[in-house]
Each structure stands twice: as structure tokens, then as C-alpha cells.
Amino acid sequence: MEVILRGVRGSIANPAAETAYYGGNTACVELRSDGGALLFFDAGTGLREAGENLPRQGECHIFISHGHADHIMGLWFFKPIHSPDWTTHLHLPDKLERLPDHFYETGLFPVPFSALKGAIIRHSVRTGELVTIGAGKTKLELEPFAVCHPGGGLGYKVRADNALFVYTGDHEITGTAASLAEAGNILRGANIAVVDAMYRKEDYVPGWGHSAWEDWVEAAAGAGARNLVLTHHEPRRTDRELDALDNRLRDLARPDRLNMYVAREGMRFVPSGPIPFTRYGSDWLLLFLEEIARYRDINAVLDRILAKAREITHADAGTIFLVEGDELVFAYTHNDSLFPVDNAHRYAYAAVRMPLSRLSIAGYAAVSGQSLNLADVRRLPPGVQYSFNSSFDENTGYRTVSMLSLPFFDKSGNVSGILQLINSIDPRGGAPCPFTSSMEFNARLLAGQASSALEHSMQERKGIYGILRMAAVHDPSETGPHAERVGSVAAELYQRWAEKGEAVPDRERIRYEKNRIRLAAMLHDIGKVGISDLILKKPGKLTDEEFAVMRGHTEIGADILDDDASDIAALARDIALCHHQKWNGRGYPDIDGKAPAGESIPLGARIVAVADVFDALVSPRCYKNPWSFEAALDLLCREAGEHFDPVLVECIMDIRDMLPLIYERFPDTPQGGENTAGAGGAVSRGSSEGERA
Ligand code: C2E
Ligand code: SIN
Ligand code: SIN
Ligand code: FE
Ligand code: FE
């Protein structure tokens, strides 16, 4: 079963700039059963759009909740009723059987009812009388129920495909205990319930036949419903106000796993929840560009581009490669089948490169600047130069079928990377399908529009590398790879810490903070530019006097970062100043006469303390040999509660299997620090010539 919201307004259509996002059409919900039945609940103005792309021949059922104009207006403009090969079953509540005649025969519409070309079959529906459509496994059973609305009306419970869909039409919860209990019964066990929530408590008008959303939230408690969709929005309700409602719903953490949504035109649901949402307009692209403009870290930008590209193409997996010299460097990947969402980012650190040549699929797209839309990578068109490398599939058991590869272009028109999407999955389940041409079109639009954000984030990283190169003139340990490793370990520690601490993690905030912390952590030792080489490069132990000078790198770093007002610089300053503070208060430098302890040390600095010491221990230094990962983690555990925040030590133990991936990705090499894809020097060269390894 799939449910599509076609019209979400009550009373009267209001298409306007301030309603464009949620939509201005009146009541209409489409339901498609797995067996192919097509049903509509109410025929408000949203019905028109739904009819535009239906075939000339076919059949549908329209269930009307009641005769108010906002629930029937769209019928006139439903294209199929003008097609001789289409049959419309019109299910009308008792006593409304004559409604179409009335509307068509009194001059409200130019074509009389009798002259419509399509077949229209009327049925009467009554409370308590089941309606069945189809038979056997594909049978749908509809149970009409009476609702509270002036003049009466019907809601419908639909059982099909082992799921329950509920539509209330217009229904007022009066706020009494009895009314709330009745509403709870309406919702009971529903997989998807689309309900009238025209009002907020503050503007609710008793007796007008509509509910306030707060009452539905209360009524839903214990009803065992899974997805509650609030619709029939007051026509003046602006997008901004509905956004505020959406935020409120997110904040209401529900122990009973009920998900609540503000209805939006074009939104689609399956019994388990919403299908990632693509609107037919192009506002998704504007919203996406606004979203990624907030991120400055290239990892975050890649993650968002890939997530959106997968959403609009229903791709099960995807990878972004960046062009570096004569190679394609694997920069980011997602794969839902192999690693579920909360683990996906681990594979961001896979260290894979392949030659920029026409022999691989991604290479061909990069060299030719063309997009390749392949329905089946094992049946390539005859005579093509490229071939599919199946080593990834062989190593993982994954099965790549369809693949869409398209280039990102930089400002000068050169290919800067490749977006590769794999296995477009029908959201209703089933085998991978080819990417459609509209998916390809949208993905190209996305890649084209997102490439400047990508370029900005590469420039940002280049800027940081530039600063680090200045520091590296003094201290060879302060290289790009060292900073990348500390930045990555700090970013992952932060994500783990945040997910541990929140019952319902706010992914968007975590992602934003993670982006900030990675960049800020990279600059933690920038103050070493102000320390003499004689001390920095001293092969042996520092004397007390020398170490006293050395400690000054924290304050020098903070001073350097002080005059930049950006929020990343503010965090970088905290980190530079406090990354040698200790949880027990015995770190440095003194601030207002005393070294801070515990949670009065900024979180970012506590995180970098763990990441930096880990990196210092496992790396060679002019004053020490590298330790093993185990020995380094042992030391961190011994120092939990002394040097380090004990929760963060737990976090690094939680992510310990990511550490080797990060270190493989950013090894110390003479070339380190030059590239912006985040990859270190020449790693794993030749380890894979494939699409992904
Ligand atoms: P770094 O090399 O990046 O080390 C960062 C931190 O890692 C050190 O902060 C320390 O907490 C930890 N660490 C590094 N090596 C070891 C080790 O072998 N054992 C243990 N238990 N911890 C270790 P710290 O001590 O505040 O030092 C800050 C910076 O001062 C170091 O940054 C390094 O640049 C310099 N430094 C510290 N000790 C020496 C030394 O003996 N000789 C020289 N040449 N430089 C030193
Ligand atoms: C990253 O910073 O690694 C990408 C963002 C994310 O994992 O959410
Ligand atoms: C992802 O979206 O793949 C990264 C996981 C996250 O957003 O936290
Ligand atoms: Fe330091
Ligand atoms: Fe460091």
C-alpha cells in the first residue's frame, strides 16, 4: 500500500507564495494497493494533479467524506472522467447521491453530467456497511465510520495488504474525555492515519467541525498507531507556521514509536513510514542548496550531496569520487544494504584510488564528461571501452545492477568529481530498477547546482592546509595528515558522544556540529608556529624551562584565532587554548589563575585531548617511537577520569574499529597535506582499479 497526499488544505484552496511548500490544494488523498487498485479519498482540488498522469484507460474509486465544496471541487477537473475508456466508481455517503447531478446540472460547470465521456458508477456508503474491492489476496475492505462534523460525514478505515489506513475526512475532537477516547479508537492500530487537524488549540473554534492538532496527539496515546499525518490545514496557515508545527512534533519524543507528520502535498507513505520525499516542483533543490550552504567541512558537504542524490533517485548505494591529478579518489560512500545509516559514515574513510582512464565506468564519465546511465552493469552496450569491475561485489556479496554515474564540473568547466549511484529501488519493495530519465535529469541538476558548494568546501580545506604548512615549516609532525587524523577522530568522537547522550538524536544538529569540530580540531596546534625550532625539533626530553615555553603554544594558538569571528574559529580558539587541559585539573595553561577541570573544560577541547594524545602516541615523534593502537588505547583507559573525560574514553573504545580506517586513509607521507579530498598521500595505489574497492 502506498498513500500519496494530493491536497492538504481545508475550506478553500490557497495557492500562494507563503503556502507553496506545504501546498495550497484542498482535501484529496490517493491510495494505491499492492494489487493495483487506485482509490481517492475526497475530491478536493488536489485530485486534479493526481489525474494528470493517469493512463487513458483504467478504473478508480473515489470515496467522498461529505459534500462540502472543498472535498468535491476537484472532480470536475479530474482528467479521466473525460476519457471514454475510464471507469470512475463514485462512493457517496447516503443522501448525497444526487450531489454530482446538482453540481453539473445547475450551471456550475460547462459540461453536464450526462455528457461526461467516462463511465461513472455511483455507490452509496453507510456507516457500518463494509465496502469490498477486489478479492483474494488483493482484496480491500473499507469500513465507513461516522465523524463529528456539521451536517455529518464519513471517515474510512481501509484494510489492505496487511495494513490499516485511516482517513477521517472532517472530524472534530471536542476535547471531552469521550471525544478523545473515540478519536483514539479511530486511530487504533493504524499504520497510516490522515486526520483533520485544521487548528491549533489557540485558534480552535468549537462547533466548526475540525480538530486542533494537540488533541490528536493526546488521543493517539496508547492507540498503537504508527504514522499520524496531520492535514486539512487552515487555508491561511503559512509554511512558516507549519514548519513550526513540524518542529514541535519532532520535539515530542514518543515512547510508543508513533511518528507524526505535517501533511505536505506530494508526500508519500508506505505502512512503515514516509517515503523520502521528492516534490514535483523544484523547491527541493533550493531547500537543499540552502541546507548545504551551512556546511564548511567537505565531508559534511559530500555526505549531504550523496544523501540527497540517493533520495531523489531511490538509490540503495552511492559513492562520490574526486579528481586528483591523474587519479580518481574515493571520497565518500553510502550503502543501505551493506551498512545501515548509523554506520554509513565509517566507510567515508575507505582509502581507494583508481587511475583516471576510460576503462572504468567512473573513469569514463570523468574523462568524457558524460553521464552514464546503465540499466545493468553486467550487460553493457556492445563495443564500449569501459567495463564493470566486480571486485567490490565479490568481496562483499553486494549485487550491483543499475548504475548512474555523472560528473561534477568546477568553475572552469573541468570535471572535478563523479557522483555514482547504484541500484534504484522501487520504494514499494522489489528488485533494483534502472534509473529513469527524470531521475537522471534531477541528479544532473543536483550535481550541477551542488558543485559550487563542493568547490567552496575544497577551498576551505585548502586554506587550512595552507595554515598547517606554515606550522609544518617548524614542526614536521604538524602536517595535513596529522591534522586530518586528529580532525577525523575528534569528529567521530563527537558524533558518538552526541548519539550516546540523546534519546532521539537530532541528526541535523549533530551533523552541523561534527562539521564544525572536524575543521576546528585540525587547527589545535597552530600555536606551534610561535615556538622555536630548537625546542620543537629537539630529539630528546625537554628541560623544565623548554617545556614551559612549549606550553605557550596553547595561548599563541588562541591569539592567532582570536580575530576571526566565524563560529568555527570560536570553537577552534577554545580547542587551541584548552586541548592540554586535564579532566583532573592538572593540565595547562592556567586561565584566570587556575587550570580548569571536568566539564568546565570546553567539550571540543576535551574531545581533542583524547584525539591528539592518541595520535601523538601512535605516531613517530622526534622524541619518541610510535606505539601500537592497543598500547595507546590502554593508556587512554588508564587515564580516564585523570587526564581524560571518562565518557570520551568510552566513546573512543566504541569507535575503535574505525581508527585503523582513518589511519589508513591519512598516512604520514611527504606528499601529505596537498590534496583537498581529505585523502593522504599515495595510499593503496593499485589496490583497486574498480568502481569501489
Ligand atoms: P605532541 O607531540 O603532539 O603530543 C601531544 C600530547 O600527547 C602530549 O602533550 C602528551 O600529553 C601526549 N604524549 C605524547 N607522547 C607521549 C608519550 O610518549 N607518553 C605519554 N604518556 N604521553 C605522550 P604534552 O606533554 O603537553 O606535550 C605537548 C607538545 O610538547 C607535544 O605535542 C610535543 O610537541 C612537545 N613535547 C612534549 N614532550 C616533549 C619531549 O620530550 N621532547 C620534545 N622534543 N618535544 C616534546
Ligand atoms: C562527516 O562529517 O563525516 C559527514 C557527516 C555525517 O556523518 O553526518
Ligand atoms: C549518513 O547519513 O550516512 C551518516 C550518518 C549520520 O548522518 O549521522
Ligand atoms: Fe598541543
Ligand atoms: Fe597535535
- Class of the domain covering 284-451: alpha beta
Provide the mean pLDDT of the chain.
Answer: 88
Beta bridge partners of 123: 91
Of 262-271, 419-428, 633-642, the poorest mean pLDDT is in 419-428
Q: Give distance in angstroms: CA of 345 to centre of ligand 3.
A: 6
Residue 3: predicted pLDDT: 96
Give the separation between CA 128 and CA 155, rounded to whole angstroms: 11
Q: Give distance in angstroms: CA of 268 to centre of ligand 1.
A: 56
C-beta of 508 in contact with ligand 3 (< 6 A): no
Check: CB of residue 328 under 8 Å from CB of residue 366.
yes
**Paired sense of beta strands 227-231 and 259-262, if any:** parallel
**3-state per-residue secondary structure call for 604-648:** HHHHHHHHHHHHHHHCCECCECCCCHHHHHHHHHHCECCCECHHH
Q: Give distance in angstroms: CA of 558 to centre of ligand 3.
A: 31
Q: Give distance in angstroms: CA of 8 to centre of ligand 5.
A: 55
Confidence of residue 669 (pLDDT cuts 50, 70, 90): low
Check pLDDT > 70 for residue 192. Answer: yes
Check pLDDT > 90 for residue 441. Answer: no
The CATH number of 475-692, from 3.90.1150.10, 1.10.3210.10, 1.10.510.10, 1.10.10.10, is 1.10.3210.10
Give the separation between CA 112 and CA 119, rounded to whole angstroms: 14
Peptide bond into 589 cis (omega under 30): yes
C-beta of 514 in contact with ligand 2 (< 6 A): yes
Ligand 2 pocket test, pick from 291, 303, 506 with the greatest ligand atom count within 8 Å of Cβ, gives: 303
What CA–CA distances, in Å, run from 632 to 580, 607, 656? 17, 16, 11
C-beta of 513 in contact with ligand 3 (< 6 A): no
Q: Which of 40, 64, 65 minimizes the C-alpha distance to 50?
A: 40
- Ligand in closest contact with the CA of 636: 1
Give the separation between CA 164 and CA 142, rounded to whole angstroms: 10
CB count within 10 Å of CB 319 equals 25
C-beta of 514 in contact with ligand 3 (< 6 A): no
C-beta of 300 in contact with ligand 2 (< 6 A): yes
Check: CB of residue 386 under 8 Å from CB of residue 361.
yes
C-beta of 616 in contact with ligand 1 (< 6 A): yes
State which fold the 2-274 domain adopts: Metallo-beta-lactamase; Chain A (3.60.15)
Q: Give distance in angstroms: CA of 575 to centre of ligand 4.
A: 9
CA torsion, ordered 507, 287, 373, 358, to nearest 10 deg: -80
Given the C-alpha cell 460547470, which residue does it identify?
109
Mean pLDDT of 379-406: 91
Check: CB of residue 80 under 8 Å from CB of residue 67.
no
Confidence of residue 155 (pLDDT cuts 50, 70, 90): very high
| Residue nearest (by alpha carbon) to ligand 2 atom 8 | 511
Q: Give distance in angstroms: CA of 645 to centre of ligand 2.
A: 23
Taking each helix axis from N to C end, the angle separating 507-522 and 603-618, rounded to the nearest 10 degrees, works out to 50
Mean pLDDT of 215-226: 94
Give the separation between CA 372 and CA 388, rounded to whole angstroms: 12
Q: Give distance in angstroms: CA of 624 to centre of ligand 5.
A: 14
Most confident of 180-184, 315-319, 351-355, 525-529: 180-184
C-beta of 11 in contact with ligand 2 (< 6 A): no
Residue type, 673: G
Check: CB of residue 264 under 8 Å from CB of residue 249.
no
Going 69 to 70 to 72 to 74, the CA torsion angle's sign is positive
Check pLDDT > 50 for residue 685. Answer: no
Atom of ligand 3 nearest to the CA of 341: 3
C-beta of 611 in contact with ligand 1 (< 6 A): no
C-beta of 344 in contact with ligand 3 (< 6 A): yes
C-beta of 345 in contact with ligand 2 (< 6 A): yes
C-beta of 574 in contact with ligand 2 (< 6 A): no
Ligand 2 pocket test, pick from 298, 305, 495 with the greatest ligand atom count within 8 Å of Cβ, gives: 495
Q: Which of 611, 329, 395, 387 minimizes the C-alpha distance to 493?
A: 611
Ligand 1 pocket test, pick from 524, 550, 615, 633 with the greatest ligand atom count within 8 Å of Cβ, gives: 550
Check pLDDT > 70 for residue 428. Answer: no
Give the separation between CA 395 and CA 389, rounded to whole angstroms: 11
Mean pLDDT of 516-545: 90
Atom of ligand 3 nearest to the CA of 344: 3
Q: Which of 399, 427, 210, 223 minimizes the C-alpha distance to 317?
A: 399
Beta bridge partners of 193: 166, 228
Of 96-105, 293-302, 614-623, the poorest mean pLDDT is in 96-105
Check: CB of residue 574 under 8 Å from CB of residue 604.
yes
C-beta of 345 in contact with ligand 3 (< 6 A): yes
Residue 427: predicted pLDDT: 60
Measure the CA angle with vertex 23, ends 21 and 29; round to 5°.
Answer: 130
Q: How far apart are the first and last CA of the chain?
A: 37
Give the separation between CA 420 and CA 407, rounded to whole angstroms: 9
C-beta of 482 in contact with ligand 2 (< 6 A): no
Ligand 3 pocket test, pick from 291, 299, 345, 515 with the greatest ligand atom count within 8 Å of Cβ, gives: 345
Ligand 2 pocket test, pick from 296, 297, 484 with the greatest ligand atom count within 8 Å of Cβ, gives: 297
- Where in the chain are the domains? 2-274, 284-451, 475-692
Strand ranges, E, within 197-264: 227-231, 259-262
Residue 474: predicted pLDDT: 60
Give the containing element (helix H, strand E) for 394.
helix 391-396
Check pLDDT > 60 for residue 673. Answer: no
The Cα diameter of the chain in Å comes to: 102
Q: Which of 649, 310, 342, 650 minimizes the C-alpha distance to 511?
A: 342
Mean pLDDT of 155-181: 96
Residue 347: predicted pLDDT: 60
Q: Which of 477, 493, 544 minimizes the C-alpha distance to 656?
A: 493
Percent of the chain with pLDDT over 90: 61
Going 431 to 434 to 436 to 440, the CA torsion angle's sign is positive
Residue 277: predicted pLDDT: 56
Q: Which of 567, 598, 563 minimizes the C-alpha distance to 578?
A: 598
CA torsion, ordered 286, 287, 290, 291, to nearest 10 deg: -140
Beta bridge partners of 318: 334, 421
pLDDT tens digits for range 599-644: 999 999 999 999 999 999 999 888 889 999 999 999 999 999 999 9
- Ligand in closest contact with the CA of 618: 1
